[in-house]
A = this chain, B = another copy of it.
């Protein structure tokens, strides 16, 4: 089964179940892009099999949803009082007490929110298929904007200046094109470029860099105007390019490649009203009677012919036994359960290092970024600790909105993690003002922040596997591989066991793989 999964993706893994008589083979049309298949586990399990799912986040709810399609008796235990786990849309009424921190209660106006966890969906991810299947409405997420700013320190005259992305790109692409055109013209690349290549390259560079007829970059209207062109003889006021050496040495282009990334390139999508809409929809499909919220697991053990789980809920100690268990609890927390897992499994779990990351939402009563800075969505980037400022992708043109004042991870999040909320806000606003000006500090109605390593039931933003650096996939370690296998009747699932770590797609595909494996086992029994 894994072999099929490796070469064909989840669609084929699911389709292949027809070979064991559980699901009809779907006629798969030839398709260049091979999109992930829709949820389609329609074969019924022989006999009534029970599964207890630990965790009501993306992996847990996806597993429960797919198992229900197959006729399984499913129970989900979720410690929080809401579905979604690290998919967490903060809105008016949201209350959170960080470990060792004060209690914050969000007071954003109705309809306004930000996603403290997962916030965007690439077009290829199976997450969008689930949105489609569940009837969750989606809209574009602004991941790129020519009018947002870059602001970096350097030893050039550009240091500490706020520069629109469009200007940074025009200058960088302009000089890059001029330089390559010059080198090719001089014959410096004649060993690798034919005369035809050189002619075609020259034509491309002239357009790509907006070069003059003699191959020089002298500025471009692509940079934008300091005075907007209008009617009559108002031709607008063009801006001057930065000098070439300053552009190169300032590193203005250090973040351009972000938007070329497979999982970050435009168009990115997101559910209308908050990412958690997906999990409320799954909750409703699974049935609230099958999901126990506020259920803190204390013990998980393989027992003869089943798995026994104990948990506390409303102060009472409860237990449940099922034929199988799917554990989607973050790997850094599993070892705290009373358990009978083999030592090598516990050791493997301890190789999952929780990452530090967090965000701060600032509610403004005036959308200055639209009316003054002409920014509709997207993010400004900086080498200050805040890393980025993300502008809202909804409520355009209205009278208020929630800006994400920082989204930081790793070393740069440590600058915020240990602070109180007030200190985080003060630091974020001070840095933001140095980029977007004094208005960044005005018209603030409220704010709310969160650091995932200090959030109960997660204690991490995502998983870094020891020996795999900060890779989000593609670098399977021995510990990772071990945890792909069930321990008797306990299966592990979650984005940490995928090649899309920190993405819902990873959690969903992991859950689907585990459900497939479990379903096959039941069928073969």
Contact = CB atoms under 8 A, between A and B. Distances in A.
Interface of A: 2, 5-10, 29, 31-36, 123-124, 126, 128-129, 131-132, 136-140, 142, 144-147, 162, 164, 166, 169-170, 172-173, 176, 179-180, 182-184, 186, 188-189, 192-194, 196-197, 200-201, 203-204, 207-208, 210, 221-237, 244-245, 248-249, 251, 253-254, 256-257, 260-262, 265-267, 269, 370-378, 393, 396-397, 473-474, 476, 481, 484, 493, 497-500, 505-506, 509-510, 512-513
A176 B180 contact: yes
Given A35-B372, A170-B260, 10 more contacts: A6-B234, A9-B229, A138-B397, A179-B193, A183-B188, A183-B189, A207-B254, A230-B510, A231-B513, A234-B499
A201 B131 contact: no
Contacts of A226: 32, 34
A500 B260 contact: no
A474 B229 contact: yes
The 7 closest A-B pairs by CB, nearest first: A188-B188, A183-B183, A146-B265, A230-B509, A231-B510, A231-B498, A231-B509
Contacts of A233: 2, 5-6, 476, 481, 484
A196 B249 contact: yes
B6 A204 contact: no
Contacts of A371: 35, 129, 132
Contacts of A196: 245, 249
A230 B9 contact: yes
A521 to B, nearest CB: 16
A512 B203 CA distance: 40
Contacts of A372: 29, 31, 33, 35
Contacts of A129: 371
Contacts of A138: 376, 396-397
A5 B266 contact: no
B166 A513 contact: no
Contacts of A261: 221-222
A510 B235 CA distance: 12
Contacts of A498: 229-232
Nearest to A269: B376
Nearest to A475: B235
A207 B484 contact: no
A254 to B, nearest CB: 7
A161 to B, nearest CB: 10
A331 to B, nearest CB: 14
Contacts of A256: 207-208
16 contacts: A9-B236, A32-B226, A34-B227, A124-B224, A132-B370, A140-B142, A144-B144, A145-B267, A147-B265, A179-B192, A208-B257, A224-B262, A225-B262, A231-B497, A233-B481, A267-B377
A253 B204 contact: yes
Nearest to A178: B192
A383 to B, nearest CB: 14
A2, A257, A267: which has the most chain B beta carbons within 10 Å?
A: A267
B253 A221 contact: no
Nearest to A7: B227
Contacts of A499: 229-231, 234-236
Contacts of A221: 261-262
